[in-house]
Structure 1
Amino acid sequence: MAFAGRWETETQEGYEAFCKLLGIPDDVIMKGRDYKLITEVTQDGDNFSWTQIYPTNARVTNKFTIGKECDMETIGGKQFKATVSLEGGKLSVTFPNYHHTSEICGGKLVEISKAGSVELKRTSKKI
């Protein structure tokens, strides 16, 4: 149950380069650069509900069970199928254009999204 809770972004590294690689428009990148993304996670055993709340209160919620294929959605609204794995306390899933991992380190939620050599690292505190 380590992931369960409400998290707020503290730091982001590689944000702009990662967003540009995904084709996000510059004006959207500028708006989101200093935004404190809120992540809400509920966990019941291997079952998760993972919601990210973006500027203008846009929300993306993905529900998944570890090791089982599920329907997921990107912030851009793209639907895809994926299987989330949990190894060594780290959640791992492949999105259409990048690979994403999440883990708890020192009481912080650390998320890394990687596309090729470009990496976005977001660290969030529990609120």
Structure 2
Amino acid sequence: MAFAGRWETETQEGYDAFCKLLGIPDDIIEKGRDYKLITEVIQNGNDFTWTQIYPTNAKVSNKFTIGKESDMETIGGKKFKATVSLDGGKLSVSFPNYHHTSEISGGKLIEVNTLT
């Protein structure tokens, strides 16, 4: 499955509830509600560079190899170690407090975050 490309957020379902459960303050939730987040993915086989670009030009970039533990960082600057897996065309990784999956469907990048 090829994830490489530049993807722009089209919709966000459950954004407010997810942010509240993560403890993000209401004023920050309000500012981020209509952001058009850009996700840039460079893929070379099982090696990825996954960059999220926020409207303020803040960036978070994580490099990882499928199946190998990697150093990761959240937008809030929290550093952690995680292993990204690929199963059934979906990338899957656990962040602190939530689990993230990504897949390409209908020519779009679909990302789902679930609290853990």
Partner of 1:38: 38
Q: Which runs of at least 4 in structure 1 moved beyond 4 Å after TM superposition? A: none
For 1:25, the aligned partner's letter is P
Q: Unpaired runs of 5+ in structure 1? A: 117-127
Return the TM-score normalized by structure 1.
0.89
Size of the aligned set, in residue pairs, is 116
Name the % identity.
82
Q: Which runs of 5+ in 2 are unaligned?
A: none
Question: Distance between the aligned counterparts of 1:13 and 1:66, measured in 2?
Answer: 27
Question: Which of the pair has the greater relative contact order for Cα pairs under 8 Å at 6+ separation?
Answer: 1
Moved more, 78-87 or 21-30: 21-30
Q: Which has the higher strand share?
A: 1
Residues 69-108 of structure 1: pairs in structure 2 closer than 5 A: 69-108=69-108
Code of the residue aligned with 1:101 in structure 2: it is T
8 Å CA contact retained: 1:32, 1:55 = no
Alignment root-mean-square deviation, CA: 0.9
TM-score, normalisation: structure 2: 0.97
- What is the CA–CA distance in structure 1 between the aligned matches of 2:62 and 2:73, rounded to whole Å? 7
